[in-house]
A and B are shown apart, each in its own frame.
Chain A
Amino acid sequence: MKRHLISAADLTRDDAVLILDTAEELGRLADRPIKKLPTLRGRTVVNLFFEDSTRTRISFEAAAKRLSADVINFSAKGSSVSKGESLKDTALTLEAMGADAVVIRHHDSGAPHRLATSGWIGGSVVNAGDGTHEHPTQALLDAFTLRRRLGDGPGTDLAGRRVTIVGDILHSRVARSNVHLLSTLGAEVTLVAPPTLVPVRTESWPCEVSYDLDAQLAKSDAVMMLRVQRERMNAAYFPTEREYARRYGLSGERMARMPEHAVVMHPGPMNRGMEISAEVADSPRCTAVEQVTNGVSIRMAVLYLLLSGADSGPQPAEPTPASTQTNAPTTTRTEESK
């Protein structure tokens, strides 16, 4: 693994599988009475959040604490200094305090990349969501959840699995990271949205784009619903909430047309009645709550692998059988597109 985790596109198939396998191992901690490992004792992890995000922040916080790291939460939101000055000056401050890793959430796409390449800090940078760019740990926890739910064990990837991602692709960092990661892991990804909510040029993306949700349901192993902000309709991305829900919302009726084994995913927070009906959200096929649990394991794995300098998990994972390795062309394309 590289020193930073900025984009899901930075991960090779083997990197990604290693993270998932490590998360499996670390996730077992949650079943123990004392949920703590001494691995990162004496290391400092800073949660640098320029944007409100309670769930992602506490997920990273829990992950770092379970590995015995010292955690500093730095909420820069509402700072009166200009945005640029505050990122650089904040970074220099954190560097002076000896941060070993900075977990950054920022409203500007590319801010974590800038932080990692500007020379302002020396520690590892973990992207916890930047603007409308990427959210790699979310994609990792989604892949982790998928692998578990679809019954694939450690060492395996998602070869041949069909994942349909539905919603505001244009503004979604979750979608971008998932397109990269899931295709690297061998899955076939289809994005579904009204044309207004898809970027104008996605030809090079390793996925399909469709405007028709109903056409995708029967062949999906998983349907991932993205949060759609109601305010988008004021900018004419869609006419009304009602029309959006009718055409792109996942109702019980639509869920019934998915294969029996297929799951419904949602990164949260959910807009019940908008992109997902209450019936679907509360059904056992919906993995939303499980995704939150898995998020802690994934973030532990990421921090562990970035900070401990280890090449493998705490209890080395089984070597991956060559036969399960896929070299789908989309993987290569993702690598090239970096």
Chain B
Amino acid sequence: MSQNKILIRGTKVLGGDAADVLVDGETISAVGTGLEAAGATVIDADGLVLLPGLVDLHTHLREPGREDSETVLTGTRAAAAGGFTAVHAMANTFPVADTAGVVEQVWRLGKEAGYCDVQPVGAVTVGLDGKQLAELGAMHESAAGVTVFSDDGKCVHDAVIMRRALEYVKTFDGVVAQHAQEPRLTEGAQMNEGEVSAELGLGGWPAVAEESIIARDVLLAAHVGSRVHICHLSTAGSVEIVRWAKSKGWNVTAEVTPHHLLLTDEMVRSYNPVYKVNPPLRTAEDVTALREALADGTIDCVATDHAPHPHEDKDCEWGAAAMGMVGLETALSVVQQTMVDTGMLTWEQVADRMSHAPARIGRLTGQGRPVSPGEPANLTLVDPAYRGAVDPAHFASRSRNTPYEGRDLPGRVTHTFLRGRATVIDGKLT
């Protein structure tokens, strides 16, 4: 089979000066100006920004079990459309990804789909039940090679179970990704507890329910000398705790979702369940703190928490609605709007927060690499000048539960390459 050659001409590599990038087969073979390559497919990338392929640490692909909302195929197509070349598939499927068998199944479905690398996340406890450790070692040794473990959707709330999990994953440099939610403090919780919940009469989800777990877990991680990752950090107080833990030199990392960088609990006044998500949308002060923390590196990365739900689970009253939003296909646009267009992050830093850092946390080799000769050609081209309203009808995801319908967002992914193979060309999936 002849080697596939692609010349990306005149692109701003990581937002810098225009350069040419030559892809030969699965790797980047040259980066420079005035590159020529006979027989190469040429992409005119004038004005486009070239990023390393995006990596998502937090994706719900729903397969197995909820194929009515998403499958590995539709979810990875959505990922590719959003510029991602790797996603971490969360464990809260049916059955739960708490055995080597299930994680290998998901991993294999990802291979078959071929739109992006699917790295399964293993459950910390059997059935996400918080009581008995799942076979973490077996999942690590499986073909899926799991290193990230999470009961996401549920908090590993028992301090002893959390401690043991943190200790146990040390043997293979694993990480526990915690969904920080003190369960007793959030019984019946429907939205952020604050001024808006008081008025709307919706059950409050207080910031302290997240912050108290994060405080406990960074202390536990420090105590046992392990690595903890905080999922979807959402409050200003959580930022302070993570900043403090990092100042101690402890091995803690954190992610923020695009929606927590943009939306606030004021949206809930509409009682429209597209704004119902867990952790809930917080206040404008929290949004500011999260943006600053992502800019200064306190928060390591952006993760989508892409959470597809079928139409009927959102086309109902607030209390009955499912929590979660799709996010893969709008993540980069939201980050551009909230962080790049505001001058808080350069494109080079976006590459760090959305590719290098999540790949590093997930211990993915071959993803989140520099745009340099010899590196795998996992690449994303973005048109930052694009402006347009979000139209969920065009989503590749099987679900449409986006809070951005009709909202003007900047930026558009024009091309995505997975090891040199185009998964998106001119904004269209291949």
Binding site for B on A (CB under 8 A): 82-85, 87-88, 106-111, 113-115, 117-118, 130-134, 173, 176, 199-205, 337-338
- Report if A200-B194 is in contact (Cβ < 8 Å); known contacts: A84-B316, A110-B271: yes
Which residue of A has the minimal Cβ distance to B199?
A337
B160 within 8 A of A: no
- Report if A134-B201 is in contact (Cβ < 8 Å); known contacts: A200-B194, A203-B195: yes
B308 within 8 A of A: no
Interface centre among B198, B201, B270, by most A CB within 10 Å? B201
The CA of A87 and the CA of B313, in the complex, are separated in Å by 12
Segment 265-282 of B: residues with Cβ below 8 Å from A: 269-272
* Min distance, Cβ B222 to any Cβ of chain A, angstroms: 31
* Min distance, Cβ B293 to any Cβ of chain A, angstroms: 23
Q: B195 touching A85 by the CB < 8 A rule?
A: no
* Min distance, Cβ B280 to any Cβ of chain A, angstroms: 14
- Report if A201-B316 is in contact (Cβ < 8 Å); known contacts: A110-B200, A176-B201: no
* Min distance, Cβ B163 to any Cβ of chain A, angstroms: 28
Q: B318 touching A201 by the CB < 8 A rule?
A: no
* Min distance, Cβ B230 to any Cβ of chain A, angstroms: 24
Q: B202 touching A109 by the CB < 8 A rule?
A: yes
Binary contact readout B201-244 vs A (1 if CB under 8 angstroms, 0 otherwise): 11110100000000000000000000000000000000000000
B112 within 8 A of A: no
* Min distance, Cβ A10 to any Cβ of chain B, angstroms: 13
- Report if A108-B317 is in contact (Cβ < 8 Å); known contacts: A85-B312, A114-B271: yes
- Report if A87-B316 is in contact (Cβ < 8 Å); known contacts: A109-B200, A132-B201: yes
- Report if A113-B271 is in contact (Cβ < 8 Å); known contacts: A84-B313, A133-B200, A201-B195: yes
The CA of A114 and the CA of B270, in the complex, are separated in Å by 8
B289 within 8 A of A: no
Q: B198 touching A173 by the CB < 8 A rule?
A: no
* Residue of A87, A204, A338 touching B320 (CB-CB under 8 A): A87
The CA of A115 and the CA of B271, in the complex, are separated in Å by 10
The CA of A314 and the CA of B197, in the complex, are separated in Å by 39
Q: B201 touching A133 by the CB < 8 A rule?
A: yes
Q: B318 touching A83 by the CB < 8 A rule?
A: no
Which residue of A has the minimal Cβ distance to B202?
A109
Q: A110 touching B320 by the CB < 8 A rule?
A: no
Which residues on the B side are within 8 Å of A205 (C-beta)? 198-199
B319 within 8 A of A: yes
Binary contact readout B250-290 vs A (1 if CB under 8 angstroms, 0 otherwise): 00000000000000000001111000000000000000000
The CA of A131 and the CA of B204, in the complex, are separated in Å by 13
Q: B206 touching A83 by the CB < 8 A rule?
A: no
The CA of A266 and the CA of B321, in the complex, are separated in Å by 34
Which residues on the B side are within 8 Å of A82 (C-beta)? 320
Which residues on the B side are within 8 Å of A83 (C-beta)? 316-317, 319-320
B193 within 8 A of A: yes
B315 within 8 A of A: yes
The CA of A85 and the CA of B198, in the complex, are separated in Å by 27
* Min distance, Cβ A235 to any Cβ of chain B, angstroms: 9
Which residues on the B side are within 8 Å of A173 (C-beta)? 201
* Min distance, Cβ A91 to any Cβ of chain B, angstroms: 10
- Report if A84-B312 is in contact (Cβ < 8 Å); known contacts: A110-B319, A200-B194, A200-B206: yes
Q: Which 9 A-B pairs have the closest CB atoms?
A: A84-B316, A108-B319, A133-B201, A199-B198, A110-B271, A84-B320, A132-B201, A83-B320, A109-B201
- Report if A131-B319 is in contact (Cβ < 8 Å); known contacts: A173-B201, A176-B199, A200-B204: yes
Which residues on the B side are within 8 Å of A134 (C-beta)? 201
* Min distance, Cβ B249 to any Cβ of chain A, angstroms: 35
Could you list 26 examples of A-B contacts with CB < 8 Å? A82-B320, A83-B319, A83-B320, A84-B312, A84-B313, A84-B321, A107-B319, A108-B320, A109-B202, A110-B271, A111-B318, A114-B316, A114-B317, A114-B318, A130-B201, A131-B201, A133-B201, A200-B198, A200-B204, A201-B193, A201-B195, A201-B198, A202-B195, A204-B195, A204-B199, A205-B198
Tally chain B residues at the interface, Cβ within 8 Å: 26
The CA of A107 and the CA of B202, in the complex, are separated in Å by 11
Which residues on the B side are within 8 Å of A338 (C-beta)? 269
Q: B319 touching A201 by the CB < 8 A rule?
A: no
* Min distance, Cβ A337 to any Cβ of chain B, angstroms: 7
- 13 more CB-based (< 8 A) A-B contacts, given A107-B319, A111-B318, A199-B198: A83-B317, A83-B320, A88-B315, A108-B317, A108-B320, A109-B200, A109-B202, A110-B271, A110-B318, A113-B271, A115-B317, A202-B195, A204-B199
Interface centre among A84, A87, A337, by most B CB within 10 Å? A84
Q: A85 touching B204 by the CB < 8 A rule?
A: no
* Min distance, Cβ B39 to any Cβ of chain A, angstroms: 56
The CA of A38 and the CA of B18, in the complex, are separated in Å by 79
Q: B317 touching A87 by the CB < 8 A rule?
A: yes
* Min distance, Cβ B267 to any Cβ of chain A, angstroms: 13
Q: B201 touching A200 by the CB < 8 A rule?
A: no
Which residues on the A side are within 8 Å of B197 (C-beta)? 199, 201
Which residues on the A side are within 8 Å of B319 (C-beta)? 83, 107-111, 131
The CA of A165 and the CA of B41, in the complex, are separated in Å by 75
* Min distance, Cβ B98 to any Cβ of chain A, angstroms: 27
Which residues on the B side are within 8 Å of A117 (C-beta)? 270-271
* Min distance, Cβ B208 to any Cβ of chain A, angstroms: 10
Segment 178-196 of B: residues with Cβ below 8 Å from A: 190, 193-195
* Min distance, Cβ B382 to any Cβ of chain A, angstroms: 36
Which residues on the A side are within 8 Å of B193 (C-beta)? 200-201
* Min distance, Cβ A333 to any Cβ of chain B, angstroms: 12
Which residue of B has the minimal Cβ distance to A179?
B199
Segment 301-335 of B: residues with Cβ below 8 Å from A: 312-313, 315-321
* Min distance, Cβ B231 to any Cβ of chain A, angstroms: 25
Which residues on the A side are within 8 Å of B194 (C-beta)? 200-201
Which residues on the A side are within 8 Å of B271 (C-beta)? 109-110, 113-114, 117
The CA of A102 and the CA of B351, in the complex, are separated in Å by 53
Q: A202 touching B198 by the CB < 8 A rule?
A: yes
Interface centre among B203, B204, B320, by most A CB within 10 Å? B320
Q: A111 touching B206 by the CB < 8 A rule?
A: no
Which residue of B has the minimal Cβ distance to A9?
B199
Interface centre among B194, B313, B316, by most A CB within 10 Å? B316
Interface centre among A107, A110, A337, A338, by most B CB within 10 Å? A110
Interface centre among B190, B271, B315, B318, by most A CB within 10 Å? B271
Which residues on the A side are within 8 Å of B318 (C-beta)? 108-111, 114
Which residues on the A side are within 8 Å of B190 (C-beta)? 109
Interface centre among A114, A202, A204, by most B CB within 10 Å? A114
* Min distance, Cβ A195 to any Cβ of chain B, angstroms: 13
The CA of A32 and the CA of B315, in the complex, are separated in Å by 47
The CA of A115 and the CA of B193, in the complex, are separated in Å by 24
The CA of A113 and the CA of B250, in the complex, are separated in Å by 47
The CA of A338 and the CA of B199, in the complex, are separated in Å by 9
Which residues on the A side are within 8 Å of B321 (C-beta)? 84
The CA of A176 and the CA of B204, in the complex, are separated in Å by 16
